[in-house]
Structure 1
């Protein structure tokens, strides 16, 4: 991986959070955002000690919707992001050709055998991790 091992990255974050009793970090999971974006916007605002503002939360929810983000992305893909991709595409939105922001999209890329291999590696690498994934909604 270009930035190193994802497993090591996540385990270091978990260790740092635990050792420092870090109350300044809010884990946010993609699947939770997909499940109920509006509720998660409120959770993030509360974490940041922001006053409840339904109009603002509605606006944030609308702008963070994958369809809306994709429309804006097509107009404004920063050159620095394009340069991170071999084909000059915006790798942050790699699902554009399939379904934008799809939970469970891994099934479009992994064969059953690859998925079993990944699960085995994940269990081995992350056996002491508290991180839990939702693979489907």
Structure 2
């Protein structure tokens, strides 16, 4: 990974969250399940009181398809990312990995994941 191991990045921030109250962890599956609820969580975390119109604008703006079209978000301007291989933002479908991994690959991933994430309390959802 061009920014370092995913496991270190994710578990490192999760551990910081345990001692720093000014970190908010959002999960993609939760955003897909109920974007409005997660926007509300974010506003509450930031101590913001915003109008319904502003909340709706934010909710619309953070939808996957909207963000995928935004060059400031989808990293198309970063020269070391090869989008001929894979775009930074692919489909935005929860659980889409199941259509790409074989059973053996999934078992191998599960073993590596278990080993790399054994010292964290972080739990991910893989379905909605």
In the aligned structure 2, how far is the partner of 1:133 from the partner of 1:55? 31
Q: Residue 112 of structure 1 corresponds to which residue in structure 2? A: 103
1:28 pairs with 2:19: no
Deviation at 1:77? 6.3
Secondary structure of 2:77's aligned partner: helix
Q: Which residue of 1 aligns with 2:60?
A: 62
Deviation at 1:92, TM superposition (A): 2.4
2:76–2:83 CA contact under 8 A, matched in 1: no
Gaps of 5+ in 2: none
Distance 1:90 1:118, change over 3 A: closer
CA distance in 2 between partners of 1:80 and 1:87 (Å): 10
Q: Distance in 2 between matches of 1:73 and 1:129?
A: 33
Deviation for aligned residue 1:78:
6.0
Residue of 111, 115, 122 corresponding to 2:113: 122
SS of equivalent residue, structure 2 residue 48: coil
The 1:130/1:90 distance shift into structure 2, 3 A limit, reads: same
Residue 86 (structure 1) aligns with: 82
Match of 2:44 in 1: 46
User: Following TM superposition, by how much is the alpha carbon of 1:35 offset from its aligned partner in structure 2, in angstroms?
Assistant: 0.2
- List, as ranges, runs of 4+ consecutive aligned residues in structure 1 with deviation greater than 6 Å: none
1:77 and 1:90 in contact (8 A); partners too: no
- CA-based RMSD of the aligned residues comes to 2.3
TM-score with structure 2 setting the length: 0.84
Higher helix share: 1
Q: Are 1:103 and 1:136, in contact at CA under 8 Å, matched by a contact in 2?
A: yes
Specify every segment of 5 or more residues in structure 1 that has no aligned partner in the other structure, as ranges.
none
**CA distance 1:110–1:73, change in 2 (3 Å):** same
